[in-house]
């Protein structure tokens, strides 16, 4: 009986390539703050990077086409009185970005399509509710104006950005520092990780932990958790011997992992970036000089190693382009924005294809910018999957900028 040795997958030959030098963004003073967020956020219009700033916190926002050397006087987004720790673009408006800071506040900003003449200092709204630094931000995937924040006070707050009001405050679930928070695809559940080594699945509207697993990874260093499209939870963490480790879990049965793999002995936290359309997870460790990627399927061993993109320089942070911002004509399935000490370099992940035609199998309909719900509808108990768009029409065709801006 013949045994198929090589697993069939259209993503087996995905390869990564750094953009040419003139497509990078040079002379950016990337923040040196010690914090395990990605320091970079990108959408089909703009690239945002947390930068060093005297006397407060700031980030820079560049149009994607503005490649090359960035003028040292280029306007910044400033307003926080302490370092910015996290930034996140609104999925339903490419001109709106939220920032979280050591100063305990969250600010939401409107970014103009033109280049401003001076620093942007006035947010649309400032959200005050945390008593300690705010290090995690995440917009709701389907409800308009719903933003989640998590702080050093061990509290998760869910805000209505349109009104500035607190919709929900989850203040008695986490006894220690929250390391990560992730929405599921329709925003009905959260996966959280905490310094107490517990992975929790939370129903935020009921204010309940619906499932939890202690020591999903046995090491003391931070864990990360994300939902997969199969309904599983993918985690990164450390073993008791400080080996980096990845895991896949079924939240309906947390007793045993679906999969558990040891990686290496590096001490950087592995940040997972997940593409639900391809079910590929990309692992980027701060201080690493590589991106490892895996395909998650329903077949054993469930987490299949695909390849590693390696470079010489370590990464200080990483941005991940939404699917609607990719160049489908080049069979691009992911694009990263890698932060160096003084620059940002795009990295393109491509599936080799001979045909120039639109590749239906690579590009299923994907979440677009239209929200499926209003904030009050979601709060009242309604759920809705993301509103999908087709990438075939070129409406989302945003080629990598070429030449200098």
pLDDT digits (tens, 9 = 90+) for 334-343: 999 999 999 9
Judge whether residue 321 has pLDDT over 70.
Answer: yes
- Mean pLDDT of all residues belonging to the chain: 94
C-alpha to C-alpha distances, 120 to 109, 116, 188, nearest whole angstrom: 9, 8, 34
| Mean pLDDT of the region 342-371 | 94
The pLDDT tens digits for 225-241 are: 999 999 999 999 999 99
189 within some domain? yes
Percent of the chain with pLDDT over 90: 91
Q: Which of 361, 215, 339 is nearest to 278 (CA)?
A: 361
pLDDT given for residue 363 in this prediction: 96
365 within some domain? no
Q: Which of 163, 94, 12 is nearest to 324 (CA)?
A: 94
245 within some domain? yes
Q: Is 160 exposed, middle or buried (0-12, 13-18, 19+ CB in 10 A)?
A: buried
Structural domains of the chain, count: 1
- Which residues span the domain enclosing 203? 175-309
71 within some domain? no
pLDDT band, very low/low/confident/very high, at 393 (cuts 50, 70, 90): confident
pLDDT given for residue 305 in this prediction: 96
104 within some domain? no
| Mean pLDDT of the region 381-401 | 75
Q: Which residues of 78-117 are buried (b: 16+ CB within 10 A; e: fewer)?
A: bbbeebbbbbbbbbbbbebbbbbbbbbbbbbbebeeeeee
Rounded CA-CA distance 236/251 in Å is 16
116 within some domain? no
Judge whether residue 404 has pLDDT over 80.
Answer: no
212 within some domain? yes
In degrees and rounded to multiples of 5, residue 237 shows phi and psi of: -170, -150
230 within some domain? yes
pLDDT given for residue 5 in this prediction: 53
pLDDT given for residue 331 in this prediction: 95
The pLDDT tens digits for 117-163 are: 999 999 999 999 999 999 999 999 999 999 999 999 999 999 999 99
Q: What is the CATH number of the domain that holds 187?
A: 2.130.10.10
pLDDT band, very low/low/confident/very high, at 6 (cuts 50, 70, 90): low
What pTM did the predictor assign?
Answer: 0.94
Min mean pLDDT across 52-61, 235-244, 396-405 is at 396-405
The pLDDT tens digits for 164-217 are: 999 999 999 999 999 999 999 999 999 999 999 999 999 999 999 999 999 999
Report whether 88 contacts 94 (CB < 8 A).
no
pLDDT band, very low/low/confident/very high, at 55 (cuts 50, 70, 90): confident
The pLDDT tens digits for 92-102 are: 999 999 999 99
Rounded CA-CA distance 42/360 in Å is 25
The pLDDT tens digits for 253-279 are: 999 999 999 999 998 999 999 999 999
Rounded CA-CA distance 158/161 in Å is 9
Cα–Cα–Cα angle for 136, 142, 144, rounded to 5 degrees = 80
pLDDT given for residue 7 in this prediction: 75
| Mean pLDDT of the region 28-43 | 95
pLDDT given for residue 394 in this prediction: 53
Length of the chain: 405
C-alpha to C-alpha distances, 310 to 115, 128, 224, 290, 307, nearest whole angstrom: 34, 41, 22, 4, 10
pLDDT band, very low/low/confident/very high, at 398 (cuts 50, 70, 90): very low
């Amino acid at each position: 009986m013949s045994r198929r040795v090589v697993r069939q997958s259209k993503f087996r030959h995905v390869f990564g390539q750094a953009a040419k030098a003139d497509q990078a963004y040079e002379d950016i003073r990337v923040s040196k703050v010690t914090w395990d967020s990605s320091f970079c956020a990108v959408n089909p219009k703009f690239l945002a990077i947390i930068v060093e700033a005297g006397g407060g916190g700031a980030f820079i926002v560049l149009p994607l086409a503005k490649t090359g050397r960035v003028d040292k006087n280029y306007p910044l987004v400033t307003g926080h009185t302490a370092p910015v720790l996290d930034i996140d673009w609104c999925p339903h408006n490419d001109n709106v970005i939220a920032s979280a800071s050591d100063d305990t506040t969250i600010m939401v900003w409107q970014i103009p399509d033109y280049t401003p003449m001076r620093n942007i200092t006035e947010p649309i709204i400032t959200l005050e509710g945390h008593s300690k630094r705010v290090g995690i931000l995440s917009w709701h995937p389907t409800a308009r104006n719903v933003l989640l924040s998590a702080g050093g006070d061990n509290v998760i707050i869910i805000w209505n950005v349109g009104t500035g009001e607190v919709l929900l405050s989850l203040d008695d679930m986490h006894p220690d520092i929250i390391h990560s928070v992730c929405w599921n695809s329709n925003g009905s559940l959260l996966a959280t990780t905490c310094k107490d080594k517990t992975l929790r699945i939370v129903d935020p509207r009921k204010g309940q932990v619906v499932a939890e697993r202690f020591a999903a990874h046995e090491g003391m260093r931070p864990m990360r958790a994300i939902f997969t499209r199969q309904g599983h939870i993918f985690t990164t963490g450390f073993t008791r011997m400080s080996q980096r480790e990845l895991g896949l879990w079924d939240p309906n049965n947390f007793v045993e992992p679906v999969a558990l793999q040891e990686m290496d002995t590096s001490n950087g936290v592995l940040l997972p970036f997940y593409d639900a359309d391809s079910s590929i997870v990309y692992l980027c460790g701060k201080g690493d000089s590589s991106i490892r990627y895996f395909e998650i399927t329903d077949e054993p061993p469930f987490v299949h190693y695909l390849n590693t993109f390696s470079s010489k320089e370590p990464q200080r942070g990483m941005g991940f382009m939404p699917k609607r911002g990719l160049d489908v004509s080049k069979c691009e399935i992911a694009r990263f924005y890698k932060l160096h000490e003084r620059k940002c370099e795009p990295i393109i992940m491509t599936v080799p294809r001979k045909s120039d035609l639109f590749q239906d199998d690579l590009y299923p309909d994907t979440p677009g910018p239209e929200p499926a719900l209003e904030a009050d509808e979601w709060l009242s108990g309604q759920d809705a999957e993301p509103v999908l768009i087709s990438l075939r029409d070129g409406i989302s065709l945003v080629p990598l900028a070429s030449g200098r801006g």
